[in-house]
A = this chain, B = another copy of it.
Amino acid sequence: MVSQTDLQRDARAKLLDAALHEIRLRGYTATTVDDLCRAAGVTKGAFFHHFKSKQDLAIAAAEHWSETTSAVFAAAPYHAHDDPRDRVLAYIDFRAALLDGDIADFTCLVGTMAQETYHTHPAIAAACDASISGHARTLEADIAAAMERTGAGDGWTARSLALHTQAVLQGAFILAKCQGGPEVARDVVAHLKRYVRLLFDKGA
């Protein structure tokens, strides 16, 4: 038999999911604890039972973001290509395909939080860095293999190119927020794909 606590996901999980959406919509500072409780359908008592402070929730949300997104990328089809160069290009296509719908649904939680908290809440910024750097690291092996196979890599490393892809995506999100839609972000990512193709065509 299924108990009630199994049926209704516990307050902690609901708060973390609410944080993903609310903070991407309004930013960290403008999102109040009451906003999060309302969106999650729980009370303040539950909030401070699971998180010792608002900052504590932000750090947990960054970790939750890493887990959620890494599951999406692990299950994505771009890993199927035989050629590592094709895997990197297909990763970029996959990122481009995600640029659709509401801005709050395709932009990045940790990029948003780092922007406003780097000075006032360095612990949050560190959690954001762990998330972005960790995701970038999942690209490094494919990039390194593509470098090996094509002879590319004069003056740059797999790590720096992986971070560059993340920077381009973060910048694309900002332009999308400025212009109110994903179109400009798709153009930006198209340039990223062109760059990676040029890099790996060079030595071929």
A residues adjacent to B (C-beta < 8 A): 25-27, 29-30, 103-104, 110-112, 114-120, 122, 125, 128-129, 132-133, 155-156, 160-161, 163-164, 166-172, 174-175, 177-180, 184-185, 187-188, 190-192, 194-195, 198-199, 202
Contact = CB atoms under 8 A, between A and B. Distances in A.
A132 B168 contact: no
A23 to B, nearest CB: 10
12 contacts: A27-B27, A114-B178, A118-B180, A129-B179, A132-B175, A132-B178, A160-B187, A163-B187, A167-B175, A170-B174, A171-B171, A195-B198
A16 to B, nearest CB: 20
Contact of A188 (B114, B163, B191, B199): B163
A115 B118 contact: no
Contact of A171 (B156, B170, B184): B170
B180 A163 contact: no
A118 B107 CA distance: 12
Contact of A156 (B119, B167, B175, B191): B191
Given A27-B29, A167-B174, A167-B175, A160 B125 contact: no
A25 B178 CA distance: 20
Given A156-B191, A161-B191, A195-B191, A174 B27 contact: no
A18 B115 CA distance: 19
Contacts of A174: 111, 114-115, 167, 170-171, 174
Contacts of A169: 171
A175 B163 contact: yes
A118 B103 contact: yes
